[in-house]
Structure 1
Amino acid sequence: MTDYVLSEETRAKYLKISTASLATALYKRGLRNQFIQNVVPVAPKPVTMVGQAFTLRYIPAREDRNEITVFRNADHPQRVAVETCPPGHVLVMDSRKDARAASAGSILVTRLAMRGAAGLVSDGGFRDAEGIGKLDMPCYHQRPSAPTNLTLHEALDINIPIACGDVAVFPGDVMVGDRDGVIVVPAHLAEELADECLGMESFEDFVLEQVLEGAAVIGLYPPTKDENVQKYQDWRQKTGR
């Protein structure tokens, strides 16, 4: 658990940052395994997903514990997670990398969106994926899956450290998702990475512009030639970036 609270100012910065830039910045700090594996957008969205993690852990289902009637329980962890995930947070599900049964369906996911969640991530699958894809809220999973979670998964723990797509996710970590996928930013690095990566995005936009104009990448990316450093500074003054 962390005391870190993502401010609206920092959230706005992350909305402009790609998972690729974050992966590079994390790698510079020795963190090589923060990109959630085998998770893709249910449907591409025009905005980046940004929010702190609120977690749900599934374990393998056992037949005597997971009959369809368990959904009648008011304290069923899957339902409770949907109803208690704070607005602006991302619900992150440890579905054991198993998409043979659904982590959730469109009704629960719609409720999560209506409550103001910033997104949803599962390393399993979702049923009713077409309907989920139509929501404005970004959602990420492995692939569509029709069977109820009860056939393979039991929802057990809420807001504890989990694994999702081979990445450790702690409550309060900052989850960032774009069309490439989802990356996990440890809470204690969230502020410094936001500022550093905004600069990276600016530089890469400059580099891409130069490449489209015919420039060679050697000496430009990275900028090992002084002339390219100066060109970038001039570009920043001109563009206000």
Structure 2
Amino acid sequence: MTYIVKNTHTISDELLEELKLVSVSTASHTLVEMGYRNAYMQGIMPLSFPEGQESAVGRAVTLRFVPLREDLVKQQYDTLPESPHRVALESITPNDVLVIDTGSHMETGVVGDIFTRRLRYLGGQAIIVDGCIRDLQRVKAVNFPVLARGVHGGAIPRSLMSVGFNEPIRCGGVSVVPGDIILVDRDGAVAIPPQCVEDIVKIARAHDELEERWIKMKLDEGASLHTHYPPNAEAKIEFENWKKENGYA
């Protein structure tokens, strides 16, 4: 039996822009509180990130690799006009993020500077690889967000073959469905169900206000972490009173 897994929700580009103001840490924590405990991609960190850019966000376009099998890859190239990874790359539209599942393979680099340049030109926002990239210094010169587990000098034909795109994949131990909203910063990446984005933005605003405008102020005044980070019931009442007194309520 085949189970079709897909996203049925869409969000606007304007909401994506608002999500850029939310950190990966805040989004990950908020998702846990909303009941989504497995959204942060483990072991995948930024290897290239433009200086001065805080974050990147976009809709997931997925790509899947499996270990190379010589007869199958020959058959693929004999019957298909292009390999799935090239088709996936050329399908990128503005505000997409390419998310690549290699099965955490660490013996081949699947993205280099040429693919990165093309994705940037097409309007993509980031590349995430559960595996390795190659040509790291050249990738950095493209000045584009690229996250991966590591670097390997070998190219795709060494040990991998692409077999599908825009299908559910695994990346960093997280299920990623095409159309999921991907948020990345220097802490890594998180996959967000589209229907959760609006609530995350609202909760994050409240969180940031709580943390930056009040908790830090109270800590500077000598408040204890035990009572104010996170705030206990009495501290929450104190915070609500502070908001009213200062016109934030």
- Per the normalisation by structure 2, the TM-score is 0.85
Is the CA contact (8 Å cut-off) linking 2:49 and 2:144 kept in structure 1? no
- Give 3-state SS (helix, strand or coil) of 2:61's partner: strand
Is the CA contact (8 Å cut-off) linking 2:19 and 2:197 kept in structure 1? no
Structure 1 237/9 Cα, relative in aligned 2: closer, same or farther at 3 Å? farther
Is the CA contact (8 Å cut-off) linking 2:28 and 2:39 kept in structure 1? yes
- Give 3-state SS (helix, strand or coil) of 2:110's partner: strand
**1:114 equivalent in structure 2:** 121
**2:229 equivalent in structure 1:** 221
Is 1:91 matched up with 2:98? yes
**Bigger Cα displacement from structure 2, 174-183 vs 223-232:** 223-232
Is the CA contact (8 Å cut-off) linking 2:24 and 2:184 kept in structure 1? yes
**Bigger Cα displacement from structure 2, 43-52 vs 102-111:** 43-52
State how far apart, in whole Å, the 1-side matches of 2:15 and 2:244 are: 21
Q: Give percent identity, aligned residues only.
A: 26
Q: 2:107 aligns with which of 74, 80, 100?
A: 100
**Equivalent pairs, count:** 239
Is 1:55 matched up with 2:36? no
**1:180 equivalent in structure 2:** 187
**1:31 equivalent in structure 2:** 36
C-alpha offsets along residues 124-143 of structure 1, whole Å, 9 cap, x if unaligned? 11111122223333110011
Report deviation, 1:65. 3.8
State how far apart, in whole Å, the 1-side matches of 2:123 and 2:244 are: 36
- Per the normalisation by structure 1, the TM-score is 0.88
Say which structure is richer in strand: 2
**Bigger Cα displacement from structure 2, 154-163 vs 223-232:** 223-232
State how far apart, in whole Å, the 2-side matches of 1:9 and 1:165 are: 28
Structure 2 counterparts to residues 1-241 of structure 1, below 5 A: 1-45=6-50, 46-66=53-73, 70=77, 74-206=81-213, 207-212=215-220, 214-224=222-232, 226=234, 229-231=237-239, 234=242
Cα RMSD for the two superposed structures: 2.6
Report deviation, 1:235. 6.2
Structure 2 unmatched runs, 5+: 1-5
Stretches of 4+ aligned residues off by more than 6 angstroms = none
AA aligned opposite 2:9? Y
Report deviation, 1:3. 3.9
State how far apart, in whole Å, the 1-side matches of 2:154 and 2:135 are: 10
**Bigger Cα displacement from structure 2, 7-16 vs 231-240:** 231-240
C-alpha offsets along residues 27-82 of structure 1, whole Å, 9 cap, x if unaligned? 12322211111100012442211111110011111123447x959x6421111111
Structure 1 unmatched runs, 5+: none
Structure 1 229/92 Cα, relative in aligned 2: closer, same or farther at 3 Å? same
Structure 1 7/33 Cα, relative in aligned 2: closer, same or farther at 3 Å? same
**Bigger Cα displacement from structure 2, 106-115 vs 209-218:** 209-218
- Give 3-state SS (helix, strand or coil) of 1:53's partner: strand
